[in-house]
């Protein structure tokens, strides 16, 4: 498995930690489709529940991963994560690595914002409305 260094360099610290944890789970499972819980990702990264959710949301929003939340408590249980390697290619095209140093493009969602909900939860709720 090739590590997408340029992509990782374009993430803030929290998103990097969660993304690397996802890469690790993918490697250990020998698959880009795997199950992970917030608790597992918290243990792997040392981040809080809300920060893990916000980092996953940022990765999902950028279409770097797909998240299929479980059941009624979608914010607590993440059942299926798919790494979307095809979307990583746009970052490989960067030729000047020094341009990636500084302000990252992929940043943790502002989970302290009033009424915050992760992007994958909003997407699931929106698809429910469309399908009803």
User: Residue written as tokens 């930690």?
Assistant: 17
Helices (H), 1-132: 5-9, 13-29, 38-45, 49-61, 89-92, 119-131
Looking at residue 82, what is its pLDDT? 92
What residue segments make up the domains of the chain, in order of their start?
5-131
Q: Which of 114, 10, 24 is nearest to 62 (CA)?
A: 10
What's 5-131's CATH class?
mainly alpha
pLDDT tens by residue, 22-48: 999 999 989 999 988 889 999 999 999
**End-to-end alpha carbon distance in the chain:** 40
User: Residue written as tokens 């199950």?
Assistant: 35
What whole-number distance in Å separates Cα of residue 8 and Cα of residue 119? 20
pLDDT tens by residue, 76-95: 566 789 999 888 887 777 66
């Amino acid at each position: 498995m090739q590590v997408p260094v340029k992509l990782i360099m374009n993430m803030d610290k929290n998103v990097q930690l969660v993304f690397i944890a996802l890469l690790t789970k993918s490697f250990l499972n020998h698959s880009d489709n795997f199950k992970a819980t917030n608790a597992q990702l918290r243990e792997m990264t040392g981040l809080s529940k809300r920060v893990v959710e916000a980092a996953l949301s940022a990765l999902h929003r950028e279409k770097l991963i797909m998240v299929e939340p479980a059941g009624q408590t979608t914010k607590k249980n993440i059942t299926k994560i798919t790494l979307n390697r095809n979307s990583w290619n746009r970052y490989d095209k960067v030729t000047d690595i020094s341009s990636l140093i500084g302000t990252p493009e992929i940043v943790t969602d502002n989970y302290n914002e009033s009424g915050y909900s992760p992007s994958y939860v909003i997407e699931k709720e929106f698809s429910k409305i469309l399908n009803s």
